[in-house]
A = this chain, B = another copy of it.
């Protein structure tokens, strides 16, 4: 890349017959769209197209003639179906050559997993000469960025940048965030400052109603609500225009603090579990879970945070009542009189787990995830959670809507939030 022209507009092309057949949900388009929006790059179209050379070639040319940036995902694999790199090079009038460094890394990747590299994989290291190559830390296919001249009658000198990324989200997301985004930030005309306000325990529409005056009244910064499962997130974005460099975001955050108080668990990027990890880790405290309906999901989710081993000692998945009794010391009286989904059982589970595993804090989760309810007075979605530490035990009852997976996921978030509130 010699010059650094401005990238104002983009199109996203996702390549893969599996998307056209409806076998896979297109989360890549969503991720990239949201990244482009945060970069201030307008994205006017997303296109899904199959593994078909003619249609893909035509689409790349059309998109390149309309936009400054075309991001392509998928079709970088080793098989005959995977035609994105060759077709994009064609569209740009470029040939392909072996990228030695990528080829070497690919060989090392196969050595590390103790397999022989099939000869078909060599294809993945072929890119147009002069490309910016993006290393793939989580798979074999490198990504690439190169220029594609696509002049039109109106703009004879127009050219677009093509960015090619692998299809699996576990490869695409880190590659974009670590290698592509920093480049796009440099090519960008407008600057934005973004801050996130994260809430737990208040529904999306209720939250939105409470700040409707702000959302409607603001043009800079803009305030956009984002619902995610069981959580609520607002993104505040300030356009930094020449002459308006001062911080317009903090006054908005202060109003949110006044209106939402303790529901706000983070101003920034940390997720709820990261906030909880930082709290526990800074106090040198240890944690365990006693899980029934979530069956290990709270522990497993928490361990997504690197370094979690400093805090999480272990957990008991007590799916069967026998385990609740035998390992966690839940009494037979409670199980027969109150049932395993009850305040009393949750309390005994947390206390028993804390004693058994010797941790500073233990949190229990017992509830009915569905699909079938136990009885009419214990419907699907009823969940009891308890937190136990040296100051005692506290139980919380929640009633959740949604399917089996949602009930379990939101229960886990609620468990994390109980720890946060206990420690903050």
- A residues touching B (Cβ–Cβ < 8 Å)? 17-27, 29-37, 43-50, 52, 55, 59, 77-81, 109, 112-115, 118, 120-121, 137-139, 168, 170, 174, 203-206, 208-209, 212, 215-216, 224-227, 229, 235, 289, 291, 294-300, 302-304, 306, 308-309, 312-320, 322-323, 327, 356-358, 370-371, 379, 381, 399-406, 408
Contact = CB atoms under 8 A, between A and B. Distances in A.
21 contacts: A19-B33, A20-B43, A22-B31, A22-B34, A23-B224, A23-B235, A25-B25, A45-B59, A120-B208, A138-B403, A139-B401, A139-B402, A291-B296, A296-B299, A308-B319, A309-B320, A312-B319, A313-B320, A313-B323, A314-B320, A323-B357
A379 B114 CA distance: 13
Given A26-B30, A45-B47, A401 B118 contact: no
A50 B327 CA distance: 53
Nearest to A10: B20
A170 to B, nearest CB: 6
B303 A300 contact: no
A18 to B, nearest CB: 5
Given A30-B26, A291-B296, A296-B299, A399 B316 contact: no
Given A309-B319, A313-B323, A55 B49 contact: no
Contact of A300 (B170, B294, B322): B294
Give this chain's copy count: 2
Given A208-B79, A296-B297, A34 B47 contact: no
Given A309-B320, A323-B314, A33 B20 contact: yes
Given A112-B401, A314-B319, A315-B317, A22 B48 contact: no
Contact of A225 (B79, B209, B314, B315): B79
A166 to B, nearest CB: 11
Nearest to A317: B315
A317 B318 CA distance: 11
A229 B167 CA distance: 11
A44 B52 contact: yes
Nearest to A118: B205
- Which residue among A48, A224, A227, A322 has the maximum number of chain B CB atoms within 10 Å of its CB? A48
Contacts of A32: 22
A49 B180 CA distance: 24
